[in-house]
Amino acid sequence: MSTVATAPSTTRQPKPGLTDRAKGERALGWKLAGPAFVVMLLVTAYPIFQAIWNSLFSFRLTDPASRKFVFLGNYVTIVTDPLFWLAVGNTLFITVVTVVVELVIGMALAMLMNKVIWPRKTLRTVVLVPYSIITVVSAFAWFYGVQISTGFLNHWLEALTFGAWDVNFNWFGHWWSSMLVICMSEIWKTTPFMSLLLLSGLAQIDGAMEEAAKVDGATFWQRMFKVVLPNMKAAIMVAVLFRTLDAFRIFDNVFIMTQGAQNTTTFSLLAYDQTINRVEIGMGSAISVLLFLSVLLIAAIFVRGFKVDLTGGRN
């Protein structure tokens, strides 16, 4: 008597279809959210495509009759102009300096706010005060604080150096001093934002892990680099990415303090100058498109570099 072995079936079972109730809820969701989604898509996409289209023309707003299609001519003019690379260099300088300093100070503030039990709420409120101030107001405060006729910084430095500091020193008369004031105002304004995002990452770390490392004899820096930082990688990525994109688009501080004087122009200020002051719509649109592409490139580099799956909640 022989037996025949039956091979297990490898045929995939079809997924069960949606019930009528689920189909109805999905259709209702599209009906409710669909119009808002379409409007948001149009509001976001239309200016981008319009800027790309305008960037292909030599177009001055005061002389619309001379509008001429130049294809990539505006882009060639921009990348061969030393002023563009000066603006890019200043923008990168401000971005790197401010983000690095804010990350260090923000991490220290986040650790302090995470450890301090009393007065925790008061401390967090005080730290967040600068971020609650409008950027334009903050820029004017720093401008009047260091200006010769109205400022107090020169008088403080003169007192601290026993008269060695020149009380009539013009902070906006040199490139380095202008950039220093711009970076200091940016750091003072947005470090609380960085510390708040880092604090959310610190709060997610299990304290037992740090205690176990401490029991095993790990030093403070070993616990920092082996336990704390790897477990708050997602929070660091979000904080650094947001601040980098924000710093790369800096406009208010430079516009109010120097308006590009002493070779302090930036990417955004250059686009404003071409579009608003010179009404060169084609050239200004081309610079704006390059700024948009730069922001996309920075975001892609950060997401790939950190290798963090935010949706999955794991690295």
The alpha carbon dihedral of 45, 46, 50, 51 has a sign of negative
pLDDT digits (tens, 9 = 90+) for 275-311: 999 899 999 999 999 999 999 999 999 888 877 766 5
User: Average pLDDT for residues 232-244, to the nearest whole number?
Assistant: 90
Structure tokens at 31: 């009906």
Which pLDDT value is given to residue 234? 87
User: Average pLDDT for residues 233-243, to the nearest whole number?
Assistant: 90
pLDDT digits (tens, 9 = 90+) for 144-203: 999 988 889 989 999 999 888 888 899 999 999 999 999 999 999 999 989 989 988 888
pLDDT digits (tens, 9 = 90+) for 10-31: 555 666 677 888 888 888 988 8
Q: Is the pLDDT of residue 248 over 70?
A: yes
The residues near 296 (Cβ < 8 Å, ≥ 6 apart) are none
Which pLDDT value is given to residue 208? 84
Structure tokens at 289: 């498109």
Nearest Cα to 175, choosing from 251, 97, 260? 260
Confidence of residue 222 (pLDDT cuts 50, 70, 90): confident
Side-chain-side CA neighbours of 297 within 13 Å: the count stands at 7
Structure tokens at 124: 């967090």
pLDDT digits (tens, 9 = 90+) for 54-81: 999 998 888 888 888 998 999 999 999 9
Say if CB 171 and CB 258 are below 8 A apart: no
Cα separation, 60 vs 284, whole angstroms: 10
Say if CB 53 and CB 233 are below 8 A apart: no
